[in-house]
Amino acid sequence: MTEPLIEVRGLRYRYDDGTLALDGVDFRLDPGETVALLGPNGSGKTTFVLHLNGLLAGVGDVRVCGLPVRRENFGVIRQRIGLVFQESDEQLFMPTVLEDVAFGPLNAGLDPAEARGRAVEMLQLVGVRHAADKAPYHLSAGEKRRVALAGVLAMRPQILVLDEPTTFLDPPGQRDLVKLLHDLPQAKILVTHDVHFAQSLASRAVFFEKGKVVDEGTVADVAARRHWNAAVD
């Protein structure tokens, strides 16, 4: 059997106010897979993915590329798993787009010329090379989403995690994003309410409810069993 890229067993997490957000979650992501995480708001999807690179720490076993998600492994794990947040503005903070995308490689130890070259390459890949010298706040929602993705890709991760990636995108922007993600080789986790988006990319769906995984299968089968046909929440 192929060694999983992500393996989670018995993950539990309780917020400071006592709310049980994750209640014994098991999950596996294999190389080349795209998995959609479906379920209502508050069901634990985003809380779950924040455990994958150590932004949250619950009780249970979480491994990424064979490494336990513990502080001593954060540096390696955060290069192997790239998280694109729902709000792109949370990831865009440098004066220009090019500086933003080069930030991660620079902090990983690349020299400035190599970091800049990689940033230009990733901006070209995601189709926003023209915006390199712009300030991020001047971009459209779709362009911001692409720049945030370019910044993650510049770290050359093995896994991409995208939290509600179609938020604020119009239908053409959503179609462009589907094509872009389809062509990327990384394994992917898509946190989404949009069944059509999930079906266009994911080979498998996992349905969260009240902090538990309550269903799993193809996107179509899970959506039908859970009566889940929301394009938005």
The tens digit of pLDDT for each residue in 79-90 reads: 899 999 877 777
Confidence category of residue 228, pLDDT binned at 50, 70, 90: confident
Confidence category of residue 142, pLDDT binned at 50, 70, 90: confident
Instruction: State if pTM tops 0.85.
Output: yes
pLDDT digits (tens, 9 = 90+) for 153-183: 999 999 999 999 888 788 888 888 899 899 9
**Domain 6-225 - what CATH class?**
alpha beta
Q: 49 with 161: CB under 8 angstroms?
A: yes
Lowest mean pLDDT among 24-33, 50-59, 157-166, 222-231: 222-231
Q: How many Å separate Cα 189 from the centre of its chain? A: 6
Residue 1: what pLDDT? 63
Q: 40 with 209: CB under 8 angstroms?
A: yes
The amino acid at 228: W
User: Hey, is 118 helix, strand or coil?
Assistant: helix
What are the φ/ψ torsions at residue 22 (nearest 5 degrees)?
-130, 135
Instruction: Name the one residue in this structure whose structure tokens are 């946190």.
Output: 191
Does pLDDT of 230 surpass 80?
Answer: no
Mean pLDDT across the chain: 91
Residue 45: what pLDDT? 95
- Rounded average pLDDT over 38-46: 93
Which stretches of 62-133 are DSSP H helices?
74-80, 97-107, 112-126
Q: Describe the crossing of helices 141-153 and 171-183 by its angle, rounded to 10 degrees.
A: 10
b/e burial code for range 181-218 (CB count within 10 A of at least 16 → b):
beeeebbbbbbbbbbebbebbbebbbbbeebbbebeee
Lowest mean pLDDT among 25-39, 56-70, 76-90, 97-111: 76-90
- Rounded average pLDDT over 17-37: 95
Does pLDDT of 233 surpass 50?
Answer: no
pLDDT digits (tens, 9 = 90+) for 100-135: 999 999 988 899 999 999 999 999 998 899 999 999
Confidence category of residue 92, pLDDT binned at 50, 70, 90: confident
Does pLDDT of 207 surpass 50?
Answer: yes
Q: Which residues are within 8 A (CB) of 220 and not within 5 positions of it... i.e. 6 or more apart? A: 199
- Rounded average pLDDT over 179-202: 93
Structure tokens at 87: 């709000």
